[in-house]
Structure 1
Amino acid sequence: MNINPMNFVFNLKYMLFGMLTIFAVIGIIVIITMLLNKFSHGRE
């Protein structure tokens, strides 16, 4: 088994892209939830 520590450094860009994607999806879900709460607030 061959371990190369530089592979971690090379994969940081993919990890950053994945984290940004996760934060973007969470942000979209939060915005949709806020909009749904705003539009359905007066219908109780």
Structure 2
Amino acid sequence: MNTPQIALEIMAKGMGGIFAAAIIIMFAIMILQKITAKK
């Protein structure tokens, strides 16, 4: 088992998770802005 390779995979998964979360937050903000704009 190559420890550096495992570390890189964990980092890649972490970055992917952060990226996905950022996209979800951006969509949530857009939806909230549309709802508040209608009111």
For Structure 1 versus Structure 2, the TM-score category normalised by the shorter chain is 0.7 to 0.9
Identity, in percent, stands at 32
1-side partners of 2:6 and 2:36: how far apart? Answer: 47
TM-score normalised by the chain length of structure 1 = 0.71
* Number of aligned positions between the proteins: 38
TM-score normalised by the chain length of structure 2 = 0.78
Q: Any stretches of 5+ residues in structure 1 without a counterpart? A: 1-5
RMSD across aligned C-alpha pairs, in angstroms? 1.3
Superposition misfits of 4+ residues, deviation over 6 angstroms = none
Comparing both structures, which one devotes a greater share of its residues to helix?
Answer: 2
Bigger Rg, which one: 1
Equivalence map 1:1-44=2 (5 Å): 7-43=3-39
Q: Any stretches of 5+ residues in structure 2 without a counterpart? A: none
